[in-house]
Amino acid sequence: MEQPITIKVLMIHGYGQSGPHLDKKSSRLQRAVREALTNRTGICDVAFCFPTAQCRIPIPDLPDPDKSEGGEELGNLDMWTWCMDYSSGGNKFFDETKKISDLSNALDSIAEIIRQHGPFDGVIGFSSGACIAALIASLLEEGRKEAFENWMAENAAIEICSMLLRVQPRPPHVLSILPTADPNTDTTRSGQMGHSC
């Protein structure tokens, strides 16, 4: 009898959520993915990993300091994001140049998650986490690292820059779905996020 194969999927939450929140929110999707993969192979299981981002979102000043606008206890709010610019007292997702704030720290954090809990066979992201998931897929694409290592070994920095300008990018396959009926999702902000990536 064949050994069961476990497919591991990294699940990246969006702005203002956490790993446990995404776990609960995506239970139907998890079930559908599990059924699709196990029914076709018969020897497969699917494991999902739900890390929480490293940047805690500060709770805004509210009229009642003990409750949120929805009446939820503030201690129960578990709000995180992968990228946040706290410089100059602000908390912005995009910096002044319209680039994603603190992206390198977010990718370092996810690289550590991959080292500790991976390897992963796939990545799924929601909302702003979808953009991060697309970046992860692109960075881990087969041959990407070797291409840069070959250039570094053979060429000076200026030549590398000129070669990068001539390379035609081959993006990984990415599916973006923006819900229009979800009251918690600002489709304009999500669209800006996808366009930035």
Which own/partner contact pairs does 69-74 have at CB distance under 8 Å and 24+ positions apart? none
Please report which confidence band the pLDDT of residue 168 belongs to, taking 50, 70 and 90 as the band edges: very low
Helix (H, G, I), strand (E, B) or coil at 183: coil
Beta strands in 14-77, from DSSP E residues, in sequence order: 44-49, 55-56
Q: Are 68 and 165 in contact (CB under 8 A)?
A: no
Q: Residue 73 forms beta bridges with which residues? A: 67
| pLDDT number for residue 137 | 83
- The CATH number assigned to the domain holding 57 equals 3.40.50
Q: How far apart are CA 174 and CA 72, in angstroms?
A: 35
Tally of domains in the chain: 1
Question: The tokens of 24 are what?
Answer: 């609960």
In the Cβ-directed half-sphere of 76, how many Cα atoms lie within 13 Å? 7
Q: What is the 3-state secondary structure (H, E, C) of 12-38?
A: ECCCCECHHHHHHHCHHHHHHHHHHHH
pTM: 0.64
Checking if the pLDDT of 117 tops 80, the result is: yes
Cis peptide, bond prior to residue 119, ω within 30 of zero = yes
pLDDT of residue 180: 62
Q: Which domain holds residue 153?
A: 5-196
The larger pLDDT score, comparing residue 103 to residue 35, is at 35
Residue the block writes with tokens 């902000």: 189
